[in-house]
Amino acid sequence: MSRRGQQDRGKERFWRRVVGQWRRSGLTIRDFCEQQSLSEPSFYAWRRTIAERDREASSGRRRRVRGYLQADAYSAYDGIYTGSNGAIIEVACWAHARNKFKDAQSTDPERALAATAWVRKLYDVEDEATAEIARLELSGPAASAVRLRLRQEKSVPLLESFHIWLLAQKDAVLPRSPVAAAINYALNQWEALQRYTTDGDLHIDNNISERTLKLIGIGRNNWLFLGSDQGGKTAAVLFSFTATCKHLSIDTFAYLRDVLQRLPTHPAEQLAELLPDRWQAARRAAAPTPAPDGAGPSA
Q: Tens digit of pLDDT for each residue in 223-266?
A: 666 667 777 778 778 888 888 898 889 999 999 999 999 999 99
Query: What is the per-residue pLDDT across 52-74, written as a single tens digit (0 to 9) for each?
Result: 555 555 444 544 678 888 888 88
Mean pLDDT, range 73-101, rounded to an integer? 89
Those residues whose C-beta lies under 8 Å from the C-beta of residue 71, and which sit 6 or more positions away, are 17, 77, 90, 91, 92, 93, 206
Instruction: Please state the rounded mean pLDDT for residues 2-28.
Output: 39
Distance CA 5, CA 24 (A): 44
Is there a contact between 181 and 154 (Cβ–Cβ < 8 Å)?
Answer: no
- With cut-offs at 50, 70 and 90, classify the pLDDT of residue 180: very high
Angstrom distance (rounded) from CA 201 to CA 92: 14
Percent of the chain whose pLDDT exceeds 70: 73
Residue 290: the pLDDT is 67
Query: Letter for the amino acid at 175?
Result: P
- Specify the pLDDT at position 73: 87
Residue 123 has pLDDT above 60, yes or no: yes
